[in-house]
Amino acid sequence: MTSALFTPIEIAGRTFENRIAVAPMCQYSGNDGCASDWHMTHLGMLANSGAGLVVVEATHVERRGRITHGCLGLYSDACEAALARIVAHCRRIGTAKLGVQLAHAGRKASSQRPWEGGKALAVDHDPWPTEAPSALPFGPGWHVPQAMTEDDMERVIAAFAQAATRAVRIGFDAVELHAAHGYLVHAFLSAVSNQRTDAYGGSRENRMRFPLAVAQAVRGSVPRDVALGARITGSDWLDGGIDVDEAIVFARALKDIGYDYADVSSGGLTAEARNPTSPGYNVPLAEAVRHATGLVTRAVGLIVDPKQAEVIVAEGKADMVALARAMLDNPHWGWHAARALGAEARRPPQYLRAGPSLWAPAARG
């Protein structure tokens, strides 16, 4: 039988070898926004994971839009050159196509790395001013952000457009707008974090105004032969927050602008929000968006087992799946998934001797 997970998919004229994506995973290991040798090793490893697509971690469009001092950016020539070096390396040695996620952290910026505590930066740790739709902190003990003016919004829109231009110049196969996890674009979309009373708050149409302006600016910077998508939230898991019906409305608006795909995640809007913990908990959200909009849709969130991923794609719940921690735990997840499903995953010739045709333990699984 042919594996659905290992069937190629075409997006914006680009063919991805299979339906597996490595989700963007912040490494907090950049140098003033610039990718480092850690990214060379990390992304080079994942480029040979057997996935059809590897998406570079949240890459911020402004220096002040970074989550931490270690987060990646694409807001300067130095940032662009550093990331271009990593991408060129991955293309030389890897098999996967490459994407990048463009982001602005909003009120979740100016924070510690997770292993330092993950809280707001203290005064003696070089914090910076944060901004958001409303002057509401992410949670207790977090910085109170500045409510953005229209001039601020225009500045950020321009920054997204410029970062997208840099991403295209680097040569990414896919560009992804981060509109989830409580970061700036998501914060405008949700009535929980957006309590403005002007044209950018209140009604759903108003709350979508700035996010869609960002989306339009990115679309204007990305050629039609580069896959363009967005990570959106399917649920805030909070009373009064975004639910799947609102997610569908936003996804339809993105499709109307010319977006090719949606990656459906959830949660992260406030410090108190708690996601479900069941395997594949976002899959029903992705399925609803896919069926309502016709967009190519990717599911993410506690997808670990190859047979689980196969069922998601085979049953039409999503067109692709994205894995994060499962790939960190097993950087050759795609190879092992192919073996479990009776399929093939491309691997570099240097590693062919460990393949099932040449090594009995691999053939036995």
What is the biggest distance separating any 2 CA atoms in the chain, rounded to whole angstroms? 66
Return the sign of the alpha-carbon dihedral for residues 87, 89, 92, 93. negative
Parallel, antiparallel, or unpaired for β 320-323 and 296-300? parallel
Q: Is 31 helix (H, G, I), strand (E, B) or coil?
A: strand
Specify the length of the chain in residues. Answer: 365
Q: Give the integer Cα–Cα distance in Å for 296 and 172.
A: 18
Catalytic residue among 183, 259, 261, 281: 183
Q: Give the integer Cα–Cα distance in Å for 68 and 62.
A: 12
Q: Give the integer Cα–Cα distance in Å for 298 and 321.
A: 5
Q: Which residues contact 41 (CB under 8 A, 6 or more apart)?
A: none
DSSP annotation of 145 reads P
**Is 200 labeled as catalytic in the residue annotation?**
no
Q: Give the integer Cα–Cα distance in Å for 11 and 224.
A: 10
Catalytically active residues are: 183
